[in-house]
A and B are shown apart, each in its own frame.
Chain A
Amino acid sequence: MASDFTQQIRQKAIELLENGTVECVIGYETGSDGIGARPAFIYDAAEADRLVFDNTCTHNLVKYLLNKKGKSTAVVVKGCDSRALNLLLNEKQIERDKAFVIGVVCPGIVEWGWNKRSQRLQKRCDWCRQHTPVVSDFMVGDPVTEQPPAAFADIVEAEAKTAEERASFWQQHAERCIRCYACRQACPGCYCTDCFAESLDPEWVGIRIAPAESQMWNTIRAFHLAGRCISCNECERVCPVKLPLSLLNRKLEQKVLELFDYKAGMSEDAPAPLITFKKDEKLGIAE
């Protein structure tokens, strides 16, 4: 199946580059260890045979479209990535007619690292209810029937602790955070040119090495993605100290679904929950 996907993506890439529909195809190629995939930028039809698709194609390539503003670009997206595309379209960060979307019905992505590949699916693939891309111009693979919404078992478990335990849990993780901001760099929703993390006046996140500063960063990063996170979980994957960032994102995802009946990235034009309101809604505060 995977080799079939690869063939279809290559063929489409050649076609798009030769007839001039796009000037670049962003896809995956096999990395230098011969196992894991890495992002590939193909500008020439003759190079299209570098493109591959297999179960190590983990990156969310939609992020790269932000650097291709105004240029016609084709991008390979999985189900989760396609939600990121909708998010960016919704927020008017990219133009729909400049992006050619090669959607791949995702078979699930495995855990892998340098020179090794396991057969175990990534955590996000267990939660995933969007294997078929929600937006595409050309679909690779047959759309699948999605399962009913995932339970938030990990959130329920974390909530069962006392407030003190929760505070010390996050405190311990904050102590490990080195504030490299890899989570931000990988996130398709983090595209502000002036991030609050680098603001010096006001200095939201101080430069001293202290858990409090890291906690400020992690809390606000999560909150800035409230109602926007599309659960690709790239932040957690790229984290060098493996902070459980998905807990924060999924907690907010759960609440947004519960309070506002909203799931990010499912459509291009539904207004995000925090930029709209209903006058008579009951949100459980000050009532």
Chain B
Amino acid sequence: MSENSAPLIIGFLCNWCSYAGADMAGTSRAAYPSNIRILRVPCSGRVDPMLIVKCFQEGADAVLIAGCHPGDCHYNEGNYYGRRRFALLKELLDFMGVERERFRIEWVSASEGKRFSKIVTEFTNEITSMGPRKAG
């Protein structure tokens, strides 16, 4: 992202909850910034840490991962595994200079359209105020 342009946020949304939640945001006319580019994945546990590192490497300013609430996973336990992985990855990324605010994990159910729009709006505002990523 250059100094004046809008931040680029990559969102990995689980098919069963959060993607449907984003859909719900649309059908209920809840607006959210278009900075987020949504990628539909079968489960938040499917999001390989390599995908996240690659996003940052290729110039994304922030990454959002949204999945079913713990206990609600369509595959019963995918998000539990993901949660452990992301908790560690967040620490490693922060250690390598990607501030922890730039990597967010949220649980959004299919009925939480309004909440999804609120999360994305807040996240975009936060990243915009942080400015573009520095080196690395």
> What's the least CB distance linking A251 to chain B, in Å?
5
Q: Is B57 within 8 A of A274, CB to CB?
A: no
Tally chain B residues at the interface, Cβ within 8 Å.
35
Chain A residues contacting B133 (CB-CB under 8 Å) are: 167
Chain A residues contacting B88 (CB-CB under 8 Å) are: 223, 226-227, 252, 255-256, 259, 274
Closest chain B residue to A161, Cβ basis:
B97
CA distance A165 to B93 in the complex (A): 13
Residue A209 at the chain B interface, CB threshold 8 Å: no
Given A216-B53, A277-B77: A255 and B91 within 8 A (CB)? yes
> What's the least CB distance linking B61 to chain A, in Å?
13
Chain B residues contacting A226 (CB-CB under 8 Å) are: 88, 92
Residue A286 at the chain B interface, CB threshold 8 Å: yes
Q: Which segment of B2-10, B27-35, B79-87, B121-129 sits at the interface?
A: B79-87
Q: Is A163 within 8 A of B94, CB to CB?
A: yes
Chain B, interface SS category: helix
Q: Is A163 within 8 A of B49, CB to CB?
A: no
Q: Is B94 within 8 A of A277, CB to CB?
A: no
Chain B residues contacting A247 (CB-CB under 8 Å) are: 95
Chain A residues contacting B94 (CB-CB under 8 Å) are: 163
Tally chain A residues at the interface, Cβ within 8 Å.
41
Residue among B71, B84, B98, B99 making CB contact with A283, cutoff 8 Å: B84
> What's the least CB distance linking B60 to chain A, in Å?
13
Most buried by B among A168, A283, A285: A285
Residue A93 at the chain B interface, CB threshold 8 Å: no
Residue among A159, A171, A204 making CB contact with B54, cutoff 8 Å: A204
Given A171-B136, A285-B83: A216 and B57 within 8 A (CB)? yes
> What's the least CB distance linking B85 to chain A, in Å?
6
Q: Which of A129-178 contact B (CB under 8 A)?
A: 158-159, 163-171
Most buried by B among A170, A223, A255, A274: A223
Q: Is B105 within 8 A of A286, CB to CB?
A: yes
Chain A, interface SS category: helix
Given A215-B57, A251-B92, A277-B80: A168 and B135 within 8 A (CB)? yes
> What's the least CB distance linking B35 to chain A, in Å?
20
What does the 1/0 interface line of B29-73 toward A look like (CB < 8 Å)?
000000000000000000001100110010000000000001100
Q: Is A277 within 8 A of B96, CB to CB?
A: no
Q: Which of A252-287 contact B (CB under 8 A)?
A: 252, 255-256, 259-260, 273-275, 277-279, 281, 283-286
CA distance A37 to B35 in the complex (A): 57
What does the 1/0 interface line of A205-242 toward B look like (CB < 8 Å)?
00000001001100110110011000000000000000
Q: Is B134 within 8 A of A164, CB to CB?
A: yes
Q: Is B97 within 8 A of A169, CB to CB?
A: yes
Residue A248 at the chain B interface, CB threshold 8 Å: yes
Q: Is B136 within 8 A of A167, CB to CB?
A: yes
Residue A196 at the chain B interface, CB threshold 8 Å: yes
CA distance A105 to B86 in the complex (A): 37
Residue among B89, B95, B136 making CB contact with A168, cutoff 8 Å: B136
Given A163-B97, A167-B97, A196-B50: A248 and B85 within 8 A (CB)? no
Q: Please name 15 further chain A to chain B contacts, defined as beta carbons within 8 Å, in addition to the given A196-B50, A226-B92, A256-B88, sorted by A numbering.
A: A166-B96, A167-B136, A170-B97, A215-B57, A216-B57, A219-B53, A219-B92, A223-B49, A252-B92, A274-B85, A277-B84, A278-B80, A279-B70, A285-B90, A285-B105
- On B, residues with C-beta under 8 Å from A are 49-50, 53-54, 57, 70-71, 77, 80-81, 83-99, 104-107, 133-136
Q: Can you name 20 A-B pairs with beta carbons within 8 Å?
A: A163-B99, A167-B135, A168-B97, A170-B136, A196-B50, A204-B50, A219-B96, A220-B50, A223-B49, A251-B91, A251-B95, A252-B92, A255-B92, A259-B84, A259-B87, A275-B81, A277-B77, A279-B70, A283-B84, A285-B86
